[in-house]
Amino acid sequence: MKLPQHGWLKVQLHSHSTRSDGRLEPQKVVDFYANAGFSVVSITDHNKITQVLHPHVLTPPGLEVAVRENGDEFHIVVIGAEELPPMAVRSSVSHVFEWCRDNDLYAFLAHPYWSMLNAGDLLNLKSCYGVEVYNHGCEVEISRGYSGHHWDYVLSKGLMLQGLAVDDSHTYTVDSLGGWLEVDAESLDPEAVIKALKSGHFYASSGVKVESFEWENGFVRIKTCGANVVKLLSGNTKGAYLSFNLLRKLANTEGLPLDVELWEEGFRIKSREVTVEGKLRANLFVEVVMRGQIPARGYARLELIEGLCSAWLNPVKV
Ligand SMILES: [Zn+2]
Ligand SMILES: [Zn+2]
């Protein structure tokens, strides 16, 4: 797996307009994101398809469908739809995702934590592409925007869902510009963008930037504009955690089964199984490389954190 090949496009896949419960007219929603540097915006009103045109921004039509199942309400975001899923399909979550696959659409599960879904219920979503790991509107509304547990649970059971970050903005004030995708598409046309989404050629962000990412057998390299925490999340007791504070403590601790070196512009941690090294700028990681026996089982994903912002990379099968 290697990102990026073509440069990043800023993409918003979950937004509401006056066509449902949002405060801005559809055209104003797209203008809002165009002014903020976005290349792709989908308006995803509740049970309504909205398409507007813009000279510089790609606007694939979308919608958000709500399905009640076993006492829970699942919200599904569908991108590229030109018609509503038939009523008969909307009676089951799996049927909606299957209908989307059959119609070549890109669909993902919205805000499972906000909906208080049981992580195990997501295991039925075989035709789903991904899950919102971060929904900014849900976070600023009731502090339930982060669904990392739901995502890791299904990944640990072998269902390789992608992780998305979105605004789900309604007011375009505090609930906007806090979650989006950085997509590595071949060009700015609808087919190339949908192809990149389906292939997982993107990362999710709430403000941390990734420059490049490579993962091969026994080798991981990530370059970023700056993060003070790097997390490796994986299955079954595997994973790793690295922060600048931890690194400083490790470098000052005697008797560890690790060889730790830290200098102003870099660091190296060596154990019997693995070497982690990288570059630092103003106490932030700008490059981290792991070589050897990567502590991962089943799947692995990387998460970078700087202050209140994160970047979430899509999982790799290991
Ligand atoms: Zn929703
Ligand atoms: Zn929504």
Ligand in closest contact with the CA of 115 = 1
Q: What is the pLDDT along the chain (318 residues), one digit of tens a residue?
A: 676 777 899 999 999 999 999 999 999 999 999 999 999 999 999 999 998 999 999 999 999 999 999 899 999 999 999 999 999 999 999 999 999 999 999 999 999 999 999 999 999 999 999 999 999 999 999 999 999 999 999 999 999 999 999 999 999 999 999 999 999 999 999 999 999 999 999 999 999 999 999 999 899 999 999 999 999 999 989 999 999 999 999 999 999 889 999 999 999 999 999 999 999 999 999 999 999 999 999 999 999 999 999 999 999 999
Rounded to the nearest angstrom, the distance between the alpha carbon of 230 and the centre of ligand 1 is 30
Give the global pTM. 0.96
Ligand in closest contact with the CA of 136 = 2
Rounded to the nearest angstrom, the distance between the alpha carbon of 35 and the centre of ligand 1 is 25
Rounded to the nearest angstrom, the distance between the alpha carbon of 110 and the centre of ligand 2 is 7
pLDDT on residue 87 = 94
Ligand in closest contact with the CA of 45 = 2
Rounded to the nearest angstrom, the distance between the alpha carbon of 45 and the centre of ligand 2 is 7
**What average pLDDT does the structure give for the chain?**
96
Question: How far is Cα 299 from Cα 286, in angstroms, rounded to an integer?
Answer: 24
Ligand in closest contact with the CA of 109 = 1
pLDDT on residue 51 = 86
Rounded to the nearest angstrom, the distance between the alpha carbon of 139 and the centre of ligand 1 is 12
State the burial class of residue 205 (Cβ atoms within 10 Å of its Cβ: 0-12, 13-18, 19+).
buried
Rounded to the nearest angstrom, the distance between the alpha carbon of 16 and the centre of ligand 2 is 6
Rounded to the nearest angstrom, the distance between the alpha carbon of 56 and the centre of ligand 2 is 24
Rounded to the nearest angstrom, the distance between the alpha carbon of 25 and the centre of ligand 2 is 15
- Give yes or no for a contact between 138 and 183, defined as CB atoms under 8 angstroms apart: no
Rounded to the nearest angstrom, the distance between the alpha carbon of 168 and the centre of ligand 2 is 5
- In DSSP terms, 297 is beta-bridged to 299
State the burial class of residue 173 (Cβ atoms within 10 Å of its Cβ: 0-12, 13-18, 19+).
exposed
The residue type at 112: P
pLDDT on residue 6 = 75
- Give yes or no for a contact between 125 and 109, defined as CB atoms under 8 angstroms apart: yes
pLDDT on residue 142 = 97
